[in-house]
C-alpha cells in the first residue's frame, strides 16, 4: 500500500450525506444516539466517520431491531442502523449509484431511484395484454 488512506472521501461528501440523513429524521440505533445528539459533536463525529471510511477501517455496528405490527396481528422486523452508519451508507450510495445504475436492466425495479413496486406492476399489467408468456 502506497498511501495511508486507500479511499478518497471528501469531507463535503460526508457533510452532504449527514444533511440527507438529518432531513430523513429517523430513530436512534442500537447505541441510543439520536440525530440531535450526533449533531451536538458534529465536527468530531463527521471527522471520525470520514477518517474511518477513507482508511477502510469503518465497520457497521449492530442494528436495533424493532417489531412493527401488521394488519393480520403478526409483526414484521425492522432494522434501525445508528446515525453514523446511516451517514456511511449514504456516502457509499452517493459513490456507487452513478456507477451501477446504468448497468442495471431497464426492467429492474427493486431499490432503484425513481422506481417502485407500483411501476413494476404497471409494466407487468401492460405486458400481460401483449404477450402470452412470462419469465420469472
pLDDT tier for residue 38 given thresholds of 50, 70 and 90: very high
**Averaged confidence pLDDT in the chain:** 91
Q: Are residues 70 and 90 in the same domain?
A: yes
Instruction: Give the 3-state secondary structure of residue 10.
Output: coil
Query: Is residue 96 scored above 70 in pLDDT?
Result: yes
| Model pLDDT, residue 129 | 86
Q: Are residues 47 and 96 in the same domain?
A: yes
| Model pLDDT, residue 1 | 53
Q: Are residues 88 and 112 in the same domain?
A: no
Establish if 117 belongs to a structural domain. yes
Query: Is residue 81 scored above 80 in pLDDT?
Result: yes
Establish if 5 belongs to a structural domain. no
pTM for this model (two decimals): 0.82
Q: Exposed, middle or buried, 87 (CB in 10 Å: 0-12/13-18/19+)?
A: buried
Q: Are residues 47 and 112 in the same domain?
A: no
Tell me the pLDDT tens digit for each residue of 97-121.
Answer: 999 999 999 889 888 889 999 999 9
Q: Are residues 76 and 111 in the same domain?
A: no
| Model pLDDT, residue 88 | 96
Domain hosting 116: range is 107-136
Establish if 3 belongs to a structural domain. no
Instruction: Count structural domains, the chain.
Output: 2
Amino acid at each position: 500500500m502506497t498511501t495511508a488512506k486507500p479511499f478518497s472521501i471528501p469531507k463535503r461528501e460526508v457533510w452532504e450525506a449527514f444533511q440527507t440523513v438529518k432531513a430523513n429524521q429517523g430513530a436512534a440505533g442500537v447505541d441510543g444516539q439520536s440525530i440531535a445528539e450526533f449533531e451536538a459533536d458534529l465536527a468530531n463525529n463527521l471527522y471520525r466517520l470520514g477518517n474511518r471510511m477513507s482508511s477502510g477501517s469503518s465497520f457497521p455496528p449492530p442494528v436495533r431491531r424493532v417489531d412493527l405490527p401488521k394488519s393480520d396481528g403478526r409483526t414484521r422486523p425492522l432494522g434501525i442502523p445508528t446515525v453514523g452508519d446511516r451517514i456511511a451508507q449514504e456516502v457509499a450510495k452517493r459513490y456507487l449509484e452513478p456507477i451501477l445504475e446504468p448497468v442495471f436492466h431497464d426492467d429492474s425495479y427493486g431499490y432503484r431511484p425513481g422506481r417502485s413496486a407500483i411501476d413494476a406492476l404497471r409494466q407487468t399489467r401492460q405486458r400481460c395484454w401483449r404477450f402470452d408468456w412470462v419469465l420469472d
